[in-house]
Structure 1
Amino acid sequence: MEKFINYLELKSIYFILIAIFIVSFFESLALTGLFLPGTILMIGLGTFIGNHKVSLYDAWFVGIIGCLLGDWISYFIGLKLKKKYIKKINFLNITSIIDKIEYTLNHYSVITIFIGKFIGPIRPLIPILSGILKVPLKKFFYPNLFGCVLWPLLYFIPGILAKSVSNIPDGDKGNFKLLFFFLIFLIWCEFFLFWKLFNNSKYNWINKILSKRNIMILILTFLIFIIINIIFLQLNSQTTVLKKLLIEIFENFN
């Protein structure tokens, strides 16, 4: 991953944009997204935005196009397939995942298509299954469009933030960077616990260790730490520097 990022840094802006298109396309394409570490790659590509190597809006636009093409190709492939063919692919407990996606698509198709865009394991499966299950194009088009508009930005943001924080001068002796990355860790833990709280799968190992009551206690504990961390960050002078760096990124249309 580091070699990939260093290689792109030596190339022009067009190589970075091409890389963004390729990653967003194959991350969205049926089944290939299961093998591609798309989340890590998109975060890594987001560091180029944080370092002003490429415009946020150029990268965002290219990411949207790649995402839409991957999803729509998958949807139209699905229209030509039967469910039994995709279920023959037996790895990563995919049959169980497909059954769950099929249930939610049949009952909550619009919400499933939109929310599923942000959940790694099911992201590359939803478009092709929407085609297989003959979800009407109108029902697929709009939630998929909004999902593809938001998805690249949300996956760029961690990379943008990480690079912006690393670019902050070390003049202030405060523990800003430590506080910031600790906040990211706490937020990740909070989302992870929420996910496990509502995941009743037999493969949910955390429910075998902790009761739902204990998970709730942990969620509240992490929330308290998140609030305290945010308060300390607001009191740190480097927060103002970070805000200025982020404003420059979002104001740069070139």
Structure 2
Amino acid sequence: MDIEFLKTSILEFVQNHKSYAPFVLGLMTFAESLAFVSLLLPTMTILIAVGFVLAAADIPFWQAWAGAVCGAFLGNWLSYEIGQRYKKTAYELWPLSRNPKLIARGEAFFQRFGPWAVFLGRFFGPIRAVIALIAGIFLMPQVLFQAANLASASVWAFIILAPGAGLAHYVLW
């Protein structure tokens, strides 16, 4: 298969459907930030590559970023609510029931950094999957959680999309 044909096909598809880009990015970051799902669906490398495609398709960065922030924010929020609602019984659900070390690492991280754990946890793969859930289980105050959640979602979305979007101008043209 010709790489140039593949590149052209992908770019044409994205350009023809560019109005859906923020929504699709939101779904991807929602899945990446949602407890349980993010363990099964690691989309981090895909999201970095998406930055290249978005820039090549002339989709404004701020639109893509806003979609990514919304998805990441909502995914963590839902995880937090699950933790508040189900407490430690959430640990008994698959895949967490098969990863007790992940739970222990998340709890230790949360105990060590408190509210900062929510912000910092977003940037560490396996911990990202459980830190919001643990914040809910430990009944972290909603205001503190949401402040850390929004701040981390905003910075994280920028960090995952900016390299591809910025380098695309040098690599693709």
Aligned partner of 2:164 in structure 1 is 159
Q: Give the AA of the match of 2:48.
A: I
Shift of 1:120: 1.4
User: Which residue does the alignment assign to 1:128?
Assistant: 133
Take 2:78 and 2:44, find their aligned partners in 1: how far apart are those partners?
21
Q: Secondary structure at the match of 1:30?
A: coil
Q: Deviations over 1:21-74 (max 9, x none)?
A: 110111111111112232122112211332152100111111111111111111
Find the residue that maps to 1:118 and give its secondary structure.
coil
- Tell me which residue corresponds to 1:149: 154
- Give the Cα–Cα distance (whole angstroms) in 1 for the partners of residues 158 and 65 of structure 2: 6
Instruction: Give, in whole Å, the separation in 2 of the partners of 1:17 and 1:145.
Output: 17
Q: How many residues align?
A: 166
Aligned equivalents of 1:71 and 1:12: distance in 2? 27
Which has the larger share of helix? 2
CA distance in 1, matches of 2:157, 2:50: 10
Q: TM-score normalised to the size of structure 2?
A: 0.84
- How many Å apart are 1:88 and its aligned residue? 4.9
Instruction: Tell me the equivalent position of 2:69.
Output: 64
Structure 1 runs not aligned, ≥5 long: 169-254
CA distance in structure 2 between the partners assigned to 1:104 and 1:84 by the alignment:
20
Aligned residues of 1:8 and 1:15 also touching (Cα < 8 A): no
Higher relative contact order (CA 8 A, sep 6+): 2
- In structure 1, the partner of 2:56 is 51
Cα displacement string for residues 67-86 of structure 1 (whole angstroms, at most 9, x for unaligned residues)? 11111111111111131441
Q: Percent identity?
A: 25
Correspondence for 2:39: 34
Structure 1 residue 126: Cα displacement = 0.9
The 1:61–1:10 alpha-carbon spacing in structure 2 relative to 1, beyond 3 Å, is closer
| 1:129–1:59 distance in 2 versus 1, CA, 3 Å | same
Preserved contact between residue 42 and residue 152 of structure 1 (Cα < 8 Å): no
Q: Aligned ranges for residues 224-243 of structure 1 at < 5 Å?
A: none
Over alpha carbons, which structure has the higher Rg? 1
Q: CA RMSD in A?
A: 2.4
